[in-house]
Amino acid sequence: MRQFLKFMFASMLGSLLIGLVLIMLFFGFLAALGSAFSLEGKATSVPENSVLRIALDQAVVDRGREDGLNLDFGPFRGTAKMGLNDILENIEKAKHDDRIKGIFLDLGVVDAGFTTVKEVRDKLVDFKSESGKPVVAFADVYTQKTYFLASVADQVHLVPQGDLDMRGLQSEMMFFTGLFEKLGIDIQFIRGSDNKFKSFGEAFTRKDMSPANKLQVSTLLDGIWSNYIADVGEQRSMDAAQLDAIAEGMLVRKAEDAVTQGLVDSLIYRDQVLANLKGTMGLDTDKDIKFVELSDYTKAYVPKVKEEKDAGKVTSTKRAKIAVVYAQGDIVDGEGEDGQVGGTTLSAAIRKARKDSTVKAIVLRVNSPGGSGLASDVIWREVALAKAVKPVVVSMGDVAASGGYYISCAADKIYAEPTTITGSIGVFGMIPNMKGFFNDKLGLTFDGVQTHKYAGMMTVTRPLTAEEKGIIQGFIDRFYATFTERVAQGRNLPVAQVDSIGQGRVWTGADAKRIGLVDEMGGLEAATAEAARMAGLEKGEFRKVGYPEQKDFFHELLKSLNVQARSWVATEAFGTDVELLHRFEQVRQARTMTGVQARMPFDIEVY
Set 198, 278, 435, 513: catalytic member: 198
Q: Which residue in 170, 133, 169 sits closest to 152, CA to CA?
A: 133
Q: Which residues lie across from 489 on neighbouring strands?
A: none
Task: Give the burial string for 348-383 (b: 16+ CB within 10 Å, else e).
Answer: bbbebbbeeeebbbbbbbbbbbbbbbbbbbbbbbbb
Helix/strand/coil (H/E/C) assignment for every residue in 134-173: CEEEEEEEECHHHHHHHCCCCEEEEEEEEEECCCCCCCCC
H helix count then E strand count, the chain: 22, 22
What is the Cα–Cα distance from 352 to 431, expressed in whole angstroms? 37
Contact 197, 213 (CB under 8 A): yes
Q: Which amino acid is at 436?
A: G
H or E element that contains 340: strand 340-342
299 is catalytic: no
CB-count exposure of residue 599 (10 Å: 0-12, 13-18, 19+) = buried
- Residue 44 gets which letter from DSSP? B
CB-count exposure of residue 178 (10 Å: 0-12, 13-18, 19+) = exposed
What is the Cα–Cα distance from 389 to 14, expressed in whole angstroms? 65
Q: Which amino acid is at 251?
A: L
Contact 83, 569 (CB under 8 A): no
Angle between helices 553-574 and 578-592 (to 10 degrees): 120
> Which positions ≥6 away from 540 have C-beta within 8 Å?
308, 309, 311, 312, 313, 314
* Residues belonging to the chain: 607
- CA distances for 391 relative to 19, 309, 524, 546, 561, angstroms: 57, 23, 15, 16, 40
What is the Cα–Cα distance from 475 to 478, expressed in whole angstroms? 5
- Expressed in percent and rounded to 5, the helix, strand and coil fractions of the chain are 45, 20, 35
Task: Give the burial string for 405-435 (b: 16+ CB within 10 Å, else e).
Answer: bbbbbbbbbbbbbbbbbbbbbbbbbbbbbbb
Contact 586, 579 (CB under 8 A): no
CB-count exposure of residue 142 (10 Å: 0-12, 13-18, 19+) = buried
402 is catalytic: yes
Set 151, 347, 368, 402: catalytic member: 402
- CA distances for 372 relative to 136, 202, 329, 414, 488, angstroms: 44, 19, 12, 22, 20
Q: Which residue in 338, 295, 513 sits closest to 419, CA to CA?
A: 513
CB-count exposure of residue 545 (10 Å: 0-12, 13-18, 19+) = middle
What is the Cα–Cα distance from 102 to 280, expressed in whole angstroms? 9
Contact 327, 346 (CB under 8 A): yes
Residues tagged active-site: 198, 402
